[in-house]
Amino acid sequence: MNKQKDNIDLRAVEAFLYDEADYLDSGNLDAWINLYSEDATYWMPVSEDQQDPLGEISILYENRTLMQIRCLNFNHRLAPSFETPVRTSHIIGNVRLLEVESMADFTVRSNFHLVMYFQGEQELFAGTATHHLRFIKHGRRTGFRIYHKRVDLIDCAAPHKSIPIYF
């Protein structure tokens, strides 16, 4: 497995994570959602050791359909909370490979700091993101795809104000 790790181009993985963050920060949600596979899930648990996204509440747990609805709702002109648009800035670091099934199927974890400007206030979030990635060869769409993303906020169990964004 370590050998496999050595074969993965960590710089390419980092570049992929930076692209994802950049799509979110620039509001390019069409490009963002296309980084996800059709059967992808996106999970933000409410406790650090949470294992069950279906039978226990989470801050966020979405399949592709719900992600699409949320993207369509994002900055919607009829939503009072988006009368003034939300803005974010990500910093991603400490990128490290976890489980490596193969060069085309592995899990990568990174740390993030995210600053959000929303409803006139600036707020700081921090935590880890765990991406399960696969490399897909498909013509012009060749590249990594996210099969599952888990976002663990360091204060996931704490009271939060509105969180209208992806991380």
Where does this chain touch another protein (CB under 8 A) — which range of 2-10, 14-22, 23-31, 79-87? 79-87
Phi, psi of 121 (to 5 degrees): -125, 145
Quick one: which of 46, 87, 109, 128 contacts another protein (CB under 8 A)?
46
Query: Least Å distance between CB 138 and another protein?
Result: 20
C-beta separation of 88 from 165 below 8 A: yes
The nearer residue to another protein, 18 or 163, going by C-beta atoms, is 163
**What single string gives the DSSP state of each residue in 52-64?**
-TTTS-EEEEEEH
DSSP-derived letter for residue 8 is: S
**Secondary structure, 3-state, 62-90:** EEHHHHHHHHHHCCCCCCHHHCCCCEEEE
Quick one: which of 76, 91, 96, 113 contacts another protein (CB under 8 A)?
76
Query: Least Å distance between CB 162 and another protein?
Result: 4
Query: Least Å distance between CB 79 and another protein?
Result: 4
Distance CA 112, CA 129 (A): 7
Binding site for another protein (CB under 8 A): 44, 46-47, 50, 52, 54-61, 65-66, 68-70, 72-73, 76-83, 119, 157-164
